[in-house]
Amino acid sequence: MDIERGAVDIARLRFWLSLIVDEEKPKALPNLDYKIVVGNSLVSKLGDDIIDIDWNVDTTKSGAFAQKYLEESKVVLTQISKEQKEFFNPESDKKKLAEDIRKLKIDLLISQLEMMVNTKGIEKQPVGTGKTTAKQTEIYLQTMGWKNSIKDLQKLKNKPEAPLHFFDWKLDFPEVMNEQVTTNVGFDIVIGNPPYGAKFPQEDKIFFRNRFKSAITISGVQKGSFDTYSLFIEKGFQLLISKGFLMKIVPISVCSGDSMTALHNFLLVNCGVIKFSSYSDRPQQIFSSAAQAVSIFSFKKDFTVNKYIYSTKMYRKDATTSIKEIVDNLRFTNSKGFELVGRFAKISLDIEKAILNKIFKSSSSIGKLLKSKGVKIYYRMAGGRYYKVITDYPANLSSEKHLVFDKKIAKCLGAFLSSNLLWWYNQVYTSYPNWKAYEIESFPIPLDALDNEKIEQLEKIFSEYLKDIEKNANVRETEKYANIDSFKEYKIGRSKHLIDKIDDIIGPLYGLTKDEIHFIKKYEINYRLQEE
């Protein structure tokens, strides 16, 4: 299903074409109107108004009225399921069935809303102040909304030519999703490429907070998200049958952002196995329609605490590599135990796990070494495809930020932040290529192993490195920006030999072996030596 009519039409056409290809003789094609549908997957609306149907009526509290409604609605839902199944047959009377199905759905919605008004509503506006009155006022306004929706539905019922623009999973797919019709509730598989970055009105956000655990922020525990792709992942979980599988193509931030902590916390207690592969958008987009790095994210809904997170590194596509080659050669490893807040590790190899094990034994981190006063080390929040530009002087860029360290170790830490190890760590744990402060602050530093000799060595190589990148930099003219007519373009790859020297010094401080240091220095080497 999709909220856009055009996308649904294309899906139906592709389905029909796939049926035709293998047929020797032409046959009548099935009617797909109730199989591939237009609708809002996340929230059920009639016009701009949310209709949050309470399908799970507690008859012990709501009495005979609710019991009668349940009995009648079960009959209606069963009839809807039957007629939608008949509609699939190309020889069925489409017009009559469509009219019957529309009428049944409208009648059921009216009955449902009337039941909610009678069992949960408040029809007299409360007076007074305080929390109780505020809560009663909220229910009163909701009740008025239900009554207005009843009027709108009755108008629609009297205009059979007007379409019913309303979607609810349990109403439109009762044979799969409604407990009143089936005991085996849910889809076996949920797949999709959900939208992301949509803007929601405040009433939708309130609805999501009440219905999606991934949207809930708890101070000191988790950060929720209203990004549509995060909501779609949890919605997919809700739609699955027990032991069912979900797979979605989503932005790579699904495994690399603090706003995903609520989603991660939810999945980690409900999915014994999580699996994802990741793909950069440089040098070329992996999918022509996705102008950003993405992950193919999947899990099994088994209501068990997570034991396995199967991950890959971030794969890249260039002009000589096909998508098939990449997919056929994916390498997964169980990266469970290497999660950070909101971030799963994008790694493929045992050697990467060995390196992470060692660096996380460090006695400190960038964040712990920050000072309010001292020497500034500058970094760029955005850009830096295959290298990160770190300096001890400003370039006066809008994307430029700085960190402040004690004078004794500031330039030494500048070397750490310029290392191949840091760049690899960035690929493992960030959304790439942008760089957020908390991502830098998490980088481990083996402070206990830093004696005066090592500090001096790193300061010296950092100074050489800064001179070298300035020597290799180009000043480029531009007309692309309103307030900038030229900018400095760094060719950091030309200083790779000096970056390698940094890793030769810091690698042993973490306890890395020669093979592990060699791996870090050569990681993605073909891409990193390309011109920026």
Return the domain boundaries, the chain.
43-172, 186-348, 359-528
Establish how many alpha carbons lie within 13 A of residue 239's alpha carbon, considering only the half-sphere containing its beta carbon. Answer: 22
Report the sign of the C-alpha dihedral through residues 103, 105, 110, 114, in that order: positive
The answer to whether the beta carbons of residues 330 and 305 sit under 8 Å apart is no
pLDDT confidence of residue 392: 96
The DSSP symbol for 337 reads T
Report the sign of the C-alpha dihedral through residues 111, 115, 118, 122, in that order: negative
Q: β-pairing, 308-315 with 273-279?
A: parallel
- DSSP per residue, 388-456: ---BSS----TTEEEEEE-TTTHHHHHHHHTSHHHHHHHHHHSSSS---HHHHHTSEE-GGG--HHHHH
Comparing C-alpha atoms, which of 403, 368, 376, 371 is closest to residue 392? 376
Cα 219 from chain centroid?
21
Cα 20 from chain centroid?
36
Distance in angstroms (rounded) separating the CA atoms of residues 166 and 84:
16
Q: Which amino acid is at 129?
A: T
pLDDT confidence of residue 532: 47
Q: Which residues contact 39 (CB under 8 A, 6 or more apart)?
A: 1, 2, 3, 166, 167, 172
Comparing C-alpha atoms, which of 315, 313, 310, 255 is closest to residue 284? 315
Distance in angstroms (rounded) separating the CA atoms of residues 82 and 70:
18
3-class SS shares of the chain: helix, strand, coil, % to 5? 45, 15, 40
Distance in angstroms (rounded) separating the CA atoms of residues 242 and 500:
50
Q: Count the neighbouring beta carbons within 10 Å of the beta carbon of residue 125.
A: 11
pLDDT one digit per residue (tens) for the chain, 532 residues = 889 999 999 999 999 998 888 788 888 899 999 999 999 999 999 988 888 888 876 666 666 767 787 888 899 999 999 999 999 999 999 999 999 999 999 999 999 898 888 888 898 888 888 888 988 998 898 899 899 999 999 999 999 999 999 999 999 999 999 999 999 999 999 999 999 888 899 999 999 999 999 999 999 999 999 999 999 999 999 999 999 999 999 999 999 988 999 999 999 999 999 999 999 998 988 877 777 899 999 999 999 999 999 999 999 999 899 999 999 999 999 999 999 999 999 999 999 999 999 999 999 999 999 999 999 999 998 877 788 899 999 988 888 999 999 999 999 999 999 999 999 999 999 987 788 899 999 999 999 999 999 999 999 999 999 999 999 998 877 666 556 666 778 899 999 999 999 999 999 999 999 999 999 999 999 988 875 4
Note every long-range contact of 121-126, with CB atoms under 8 Å and residues 24 or more positions apart, other chains counting: 121/146
Class of domain 186-348: alpha beta
Q: What angle do CA 246, 195, 214 make, to 5 degrees?
A: 60
Q: Which amino acid is at 167?
A: F
Element (H, E) at 211: helix 202-211
Q: Count the neighbouring beta carbons within 10 Å of the beta carbon of residue 350.
A: 10
pLDDT confidence of residue 167: 96
Distance in angstroms (rounded) separating the CA atoms of residues 152 and 202:
23
